[in-house]
Amino acid sequence: MFTNSPTQSITLWDKQIFVKRDDLLDTHFSGNKARKFYHFLVNDFPHIKYIVGSGSAQANSLYSLSVLAKINGWQLDYYVSHISEQVKSQYTSSTASQTNYAKSLENGANVLAIDWQRQQFSDCEHLDDAIEVLKPQYIERYGDKVLFVPEGGRCEFAKTGLKQLAAEVLEWSKATKQNDVVVFLPSGTGTTAVYLNQQLALLNASNDIKVQVATCCTVGDESYLTAQFSQLVDDVHLHPIILNDGNKYHFGKLYLPLYQLWQEVQQSTGVEFDLLYDPIGLSVLKHHLNNPIFADKTVLYLHQGGLIGNQSMLKRYQRKLAKTNVRK
Ligand SMILES: *Cc1c(COP(=O)(O)O)cnc(C)c1O
């Protein structure tokens, strides 16, 4: 269960590209977060009753953690900096309950906004600091029954599922006789890209296939991403290649040219990609497709799921487009 996603061939910008469809791993537990939280599915945690996570109220990781908690019978407390009125209204309005936030509440998650006015958080700058303040309180109350999961699954545990993904990629490469493969995926924290590259190198120690991971930033810049890689994998030779398309993007911001590119890809291939990370990934891929990094190699794009989040992104794009059209 939750393994062996299919690989599909598409033609994009006159080149054959393979897509590893991790969005199809499972209807409820899919994509990149399913890989990162796989560890908690295949190992037993008999003493755990509570999990504590943090991040954004619209994040894919919130939804995946809520599914994981439900499967295991755990109570999830998920902390966020802030819940906007718009996000809250997504839960109350019956037409738009298909968001990460709404579906997580349905799964029984407690989504809790930090009350930054409180004395105990007065020295905190970031959400991570607030979690550090809360940790001892959880441990005092629940002892070893509580498990803390860092934001976005940025932790050692992620290695288990990414080793499995690396094995699937190598198996596919061998079965289809692809011997010079570049796996491309957009990064947030970089956890997926760096562990995937590391595990591919370890599993392919005899080097019978040339396989390399390339990625791009969607959060912060290249120095942020490199620092994230180094936190998880010391050996810089095992870090993925970082590419860009010459533009700087801010995470979660709307870019109409990227939206158009995303639409073009959907129309020409029939594959729906995510609207938060993939538009940047697809733009960087297009930019470099004829460069040595990709030319003459087998390109395998990793579809990392996240499609539930598309509903709210599509609404935001439609509002932006409506405003742009009025101005014209
Ligand atoms: C979380 C996520 C990413 C980023 O993964 P990292 O491991 O943080 O780099 C990319 N795409 C989708 C769809 C995601 O949900």
The tokens describing 312, both together, are 């709210």
The confidence score (pLDDT) of residue 287 equals 98
Whether the Cβ atoms of residue 159 and residue 193 lie closer than 8 Å to each other: no
DSSP string computed for 16-34: EEEEEEGGGS-SSS-HHHH
Token pair of 9, please?
A: 């061939």
Tell me whether strands 7-12 and 15-21 are parallel, antiparallel or unpaired: antiparallel
Q: Identify the pLDDT of residue 104.
A: 95
pLDDT value of position 161: 97
Q: Which of 225, 277, 282, 313 to mutate to test the pocket of ligand 1 (most atoms within 8 A of CB)?
A: 277
pLDDT given for residue 88 in this prediction? 83
pLDDT per residue of the chain (328 residues) written in tens, 0 to 9:
789 999 999 999 999 999 999 999 998 888 999 999 999 989 999 999 999 999 999 899 999 999 999 999 999 999 999 998 888 887 776 555 688 999 999 999 999 999 999 999 999 999 999 999 999 999 999 999 999 998 877 888 999 999 999 999 999 999 999 999 999 999 999 999 999 999 999 999 888 899 999 999 999 999 999 999 999 999 999 999 999 999 999 999 999 999 999 999 999 999 999 999 999 999 999 999 999 999 999 999 999 999 999 988 999 999 999 988 876 6
Residue 20 Cα distances to 92, 135, 240, 241, 265, angstroms: 35, 37, 18, 19, 16
Q: How remote is the CA of residue 177 from the centroid of ligand 1, in Å?
A: 28
Q: How far is the CA of 88 from the centre of ligand 1 (A)?
A: 23
CA of 137 to the centre of ligand 1 (A): 30
pLDDT at 190 (0 to 100): 97
* Residue from 60, 81, 188 nearest 131 by CA: 81
Could you give the angle at which helices 222-232 and 191-203 cross, rounded to 10 degrees? 50
Report the alpha-carbon distance of residue 292 to residue 272 in Å, rounded. Answer: 27
Give the pLDDT confidence score for residue 93 in this predicted structure.
Answer: 64
Q: Which protein residue's CA is at the shortest distance from atom 4 of ligand 1?
A: 188
The binding-site residues of ligand 1, defined as CB within 6 angstroms of any ligand atom, are: 31-33, 60, 152, 186-193, 274, 277, 304-306
pLDDT at 213: 98
